Structure 1
Amino acid sequence: MSKLEGRTALVTGGSRGIGAAIAARLAHDGAKVAITYTKGAEAAGAVVHRRIEQAGGTALAIQADAADDHAVAAAIKQTVAHFGSLDVLVNNAGLAIPKPFEETPIDEIDRVIAVNIRGVMVATQEALKHMPDGGRIIMIGSCVGERVMAPGLVAYAATKGAVKIFTQGLAREVAARRITVNDVQPGPIDTDLNPASGDWATPQIALTALNRYGHVDEVAALVAFVAGPEAAYITGASLTVDGGTNA
């Protein structure tokens, strides 16, 4: 029996990159998976149909802007209504707008906060209303939430630092229900938004100990472990998968 058999997971921002890899891996491990997406119904459909259903899994795509409180809460409710439960929430949806802080318009800062902090809190609060004892809440933070070594990421790093502390505080509040809360913090990962062949790649690789970008499947593997039964004693943790960037 697969370790997530009989469980339902929701991955926010699951139509591409790290989120798509997480959704596919959780489905591979037996979970029924819902994903949310803001734009790109075709990409979301490809994750559901080609990466999950054609491999024998069960999935659902829900359009929901991570900065829209009502849409986020509705996505949680729709997941529960469709699958009958919600056991694992992966707060993956995130936004970075790299530029010097003093040149960043306040509306862009507001958008980063709305997606990376407010959206995470809204999704988590709604999920806790439906999640049974023994559930899993997993944040996708960032290694820059602990250590910022490059310019242009001040607002983004601040939100990811907040996610780290939110994780620690919430872990204590929900521990009596045996719900674990953990923060998976990727470093440089090869995605369409941050490709290993892009302009930012060389300085990022230089900061790693392993001298390479990570793969989305390497992040997904850690998320799958934290979501599974073997991680029942891990909570309030910040688990960095960054090739030694923060070493």
Structure 2
Amino acid sequence: MGIVTTTIGIELLLRWGHFLAGITWIGLLYYFNFVQTEYFKEAEAAAKSDVTQKLVPRALWWFRWGAMFTLITGLGIFAVRGGGMSVDIYVGALLGIFMFLNVWLIIWPNQKTVIASAKQAAGGGEVLPEAASALAAAGLASRTNALFSIPMLFFMASSSHYPHSFKLLAFIIAVIIILVLEYNGAYPAIKNINVMKKLPAAGKMGPYASIQGVIYCGLGLTIVLFLLLELL
């Protein structure tokens, strides 16, 4: 009885940490995509430079470490539970893992270049020539994360309230759809890797360019993935 109680308590603490870190991460994701990006479209150059140098690094610190602790606590829950959960949680976790990788391997490294460029220009130097492409790569990866967050949150919740049994075919198709979207979102950052040069070109912002577009695409992706799990 004591071991069971201890395990339940550990899982509860992990879930609490998962919620706290996840709210921090996703909240800042929406801030970047739905607030800051729209502000930058209208801001004066001096104001944009000041935000990039002073506000963005602070927000990115909480953003990336929120992502890190969301992943760590999520993996901890998997370890405590020992598997055997509904397919919904695996789909949600897959989306979350790609989002985490986008943060640490694409968004943060490219944003560091953008921040360094803004600081150099503010000090009287020239902007870094790679800053524009870095901003574009970070922007597409961030929009992809905003897209993924909508079905990710849905399937994390449905795993407890409307779970589906594991169906291999449905899961494989869901993985393929997610991989295609991730490939498009990561392409600007990985296109120069030798093996990627043999694959089709991608990296299109498409409907993600607008807030409405990325929200509608996220809702559409949620419906498609849900119907896969529901009907297959």
State whether TM-score is above 0.5: no
**Higher normalized strand content (fraction of residues):** 1
Point out the structure with the larger helix share.
Answer: 2
Q: Which has the larger radius of gyration?
A: 2
* TM-score, scaled to structure 2: 0.30
- TM-score, normalized by length of structure 1? 0.29
